[in-house]
Amino acid sequence: MTKPPTRIQQRNQAAILTAGLDVFSQFGFRGSTLDQIAEAAGLSKPNLLYYFPSKEAIHEVLLEQLLETWLDPLRALDRDGEPVAEVLAYAQRKLALSRDYPRESRLFANEILQGAPRILDILRTDLRRMVDEKAAIIDAWAKAGKIADVDPHHLIFSIWALTQHYADFDVQVRAVLGDREPYDGATVFIETLITKVLRP
């Protein structure tokens, strides 16, 4: 019998995961220390390790939580919808993820930059399967003349690149834009871009 977590357990576990997300997303797994995470969580280091058995365990939970929701926008792409509207909606959902969950985006970027040691199998199986499936839908739309005939895999890559850039390179984007808010212009630009690219 596993006892339900007390309120104090829930609060501390949540604080540790939030702190871990802050630190891991900035410095990557190897560049992060338990001292940093413990301080950000407002706990002592031994107390942190009372809730999670190791540094690796915290990182693992964060990656699992991330992957759970990361593919939802693509999963929602519907072969029975209006083609251009479907791709546009996908890109805007992905951009909203970058805006609302930039730390999650950077956690993912760090993992990929380091060679994806913990999720490479998932990329090669689950991710590849879903991308191939959605690419086939886009290709069918193109062959039916409903959208322009562009490479569907690279179309999906371009949506990933365009949207994640605003989270992962946030510092650079803001350094160049100064006081202007990035996401206002990004929303308009990406809509224009996709509309033009897909016009037959």
Contact positions toward a second copy, by CB under 8 A? 25-32, 106, 109-110, 112-116, 120, 123-124, 127-128, 131-132, 148, 150-151, 153-155, 157-158, 160-162, 164-166, 168-169, 171-173, 175-178, 185-186, 188-190, 192-193, 196-197, 199
Nearest C-alpha neighbor of 24 from the set 60, 48, 50, 49: 60
12 binds DNA (CB under 7 A): yes
Residues in the chain: 200
CB of 150 closer than 8 Å to CB of 198: yes
We find the least distance from the C-beta atom of residue 197 to a second copy, in angstroms, to be 5
Q: Which C-beta is closer to DNA: that of 2 or that of 6?
A: 6
Site string for DNA, 37-56 (x = CB under 7 A): ------xxxxx-xx--xxxx
CA 43 to chain centre: 28
Contact positions with DNA (CB under 7 A) in 117-176 = none
27 binds DNA (CB under 7 A): no
We find the least distance from the C-beta atom of residue 63 to DNA, in angstroms, to be 16
Report the half-sphere exposure of 194 (CA within 13 A, side-chain side): 26
**One-letter amino acid for residue 11 of the chain:** R
For 158, the token pair is 């371009």
Contacts made by residues 4-9, CB under 8 angstroms, sequence distance 24+: 9/51
The residue count for binding DNA (CB under 7 A) is 20
- Give, in degrees to the nearest 5, the angle at Cα 124 between 130 and 131: 20
Which of 1, 2, 8, 171 forms a contact with DNA (CB under 7 A)? 8
Tell me which residues touch DNA (CB under 7 A).
5-6, 8-9, 12, 32-35, 43-47, 49-50, 53-56
